[in-house]
Amino acid sequence: MAFTEWFNEPAKWSSGDALTVHVEESTDFWHTTGNGVFRDNGHIYGDVVPGDCTVTATFSATLTGRFDQVGVALRIDSDNWIKTGVELVEAGPQASAVVTRGFSDWSVTPIPAFDRMTIKAERRGDAVHVHYGLDGDEPTIFLRKAYFPPGVPALVGIMGAAPEGPGFTATFHAATLVTP
C-alpha cells in the first residue's frame, strides 16, 4: 500500500504489514437524498488518478454502529464520488455502493458474516464496475455498474466512515491501485 494522500485524515492510523485505520465517529459521505443530510467528511487514503484505474482492497473490521462502512472510494469532489464495500444495515452486513452525482443513490445486498472482504472498483471510460469476494475469494461477484465522469482526475483509494456509531477499527490487509 503505497498511497500518498489523505482526504480527512483520521487522528489515529498506522501502517506496517497492514494498514490500520481508526475510523472516527460522525464521519460519512452522503449528499441530501431522503434525509437532507450533506456529509463529506469520511476518510479516504489514496492517490489522484487522471482517468482509468482499478482499485482493489482486502479488509476486515468489526462494524458495530448503524451504517458503519469500509471499502474503497473514487472522489472527484463533494458532488461526484463513489464509495463501495461493506456497510452495517439493520439486518447485518450488506455489500454496499453509493454513487453521487449531485445527489446520493444507495444500493445494498445482504451478505453472510465474513472475516475478510475484497472489493474491486474498475474505472473504464465513463463507467465504474464493482465486484467483491468474501473470505479469500477473488472479487468476482458483480455488485454495481455506475456512470462516473470520464477523464477527470479523482482521488482513488481505501475509505471508511461511521455516521452514527462510536467509530471502529478497520484493517486493510492489502490494497492496490493500478493504472493503464
Residue spans of the domains in the chain: they are 25-166
- The mean pLDDT of 114-138, rounded to a whole number, is 97
Give the mean model confidence (pLDDT) for residues 129-138.
96
- Give 8-65 pLDDT, tens digit per residue: 999 999 998 999 999 999 999 999 888 888 999 999 999 999 999 999 999 999 999 9
Report the percent of the chain where pLDDT is more than 90. Answer: 91
Average pLDDT, the chain: 95
Q: What are phi and psi of 152, to 5 degrees?
A: -110, 130
CATH topology of domain 25-166: Jelly Rolls (2.60.120)
The answer to whether 46 and 132 have CB atoms below 8 angstroms apart is: no
CA distance 100 to 150: 15
In the prediction, which pLDDT does 1 show?
Answer: 60
Mean pLDDT, residues 102-123 taken together? 96
Name the amino acid, one letter, at 121: A
Residue 34 is predicted with a pLDDT of 84
Q: How many helices (H) and strands (E) does the chain have?
A: 0, 16
Q: Are 55 and 85 in contact (CB under 8 A)?
A: no
Q: What is the pLDDT of residue 36?
A: 81
C-alpha cell at position 179: 493504472
Confidence at residue 79, expressed as pLDDT on a 0 to 100 scale: 96
